[in-house]
Homo-oligomer: A and B are copies of this chain.
Amino acid sequence: MQYALELVGTYFFAISGALAIQNKDQDLFGVGFMGFITAIGGGSLRDILIGAYPLVWIENVNFLYAIFAGLITTFLFFSHMAKLRKTLFLFDTLGIAFFTILGVEKCLNLGFRPEVAAIMGMFSAVMGGVIRDTLTNEIPILFRKEVYASACLAGAVVYLTLDYFGLDRDTNLLGSIALIIIIRLVAVKFKLNLPILK
């Protein structure tokens, strides 16, 4: 079940990664490359930092096929997808929420400290997009979007806190994912931002 969700999440991550650069006159290969980097970047960076080899998509090529499927979907329905921005926004929000908490759990299971797990959860979710934006010379999403990475970090901290107090895993997982989604939706809806330093 969780494995199926991870594959589906990877599929959507590849799509939203590829679509994020649509205004750039990229050829097919460039768009595909960027979808690929977005989908694998965050999890790969997390696993390299914590030394968790082999990387998930290198051990299990089904993740590569999920990405290919996402890229082919993008190529086929490219012109239609521009109209689906709201749907894609939802999928992206679901994706970062889900991958944050999975990243946190992976680190806890490997015996890392909760402080490390919180950072790695956030990295899993957002660093793929950060790498993509850096490669295409954009200001990373992290600095543009209202409460994006910080929603992930907040969800991770809440998960870890409730886990510490013994909440059962499934309730905690769903609750924390829901929290990230709600923070993100509320922030976008009401254009909330964190304070700017002056």
Contacts and interface: CB of A to CB of B under 8 A. Distances in A.
Question: Which 8 pairs, one residue from A and one from B, show the smallest C-beta to C-beta distance?
Answer: A51-B53, A27-B194, A29-B150, A30-B143, A28-B194, A78-B197, A61-B115, A29-B194
Contacts of A143: 24, 26-27, 30, 136
Interface majority SS (helix, strand, loop, mixed), chain A? helix
Given A27-B195, A30-B142, 11 more contacts: A28-B195, A29-B149, A29-B150, A29-B194, A30-B143, A48-B48, A50-B58, A78-B197, A79-B198, A130-B135, A136-B139
28 contacts: A24-B143, A25-B196, A26-B196, A27-B143, A27-B195, A28-B195, A28-B197, A29-B147, A29-B150, A29-B194, A33-B142, A33-B149, A48-B49, A49-B55, A50-B54, A51-B55, A58-B112, A61-B116, A64-B115, A64-B116, A64-B119, A75-B197, A78-B197, A130-B135, A134-B135, A135-B140, A136-B139, A136-B143
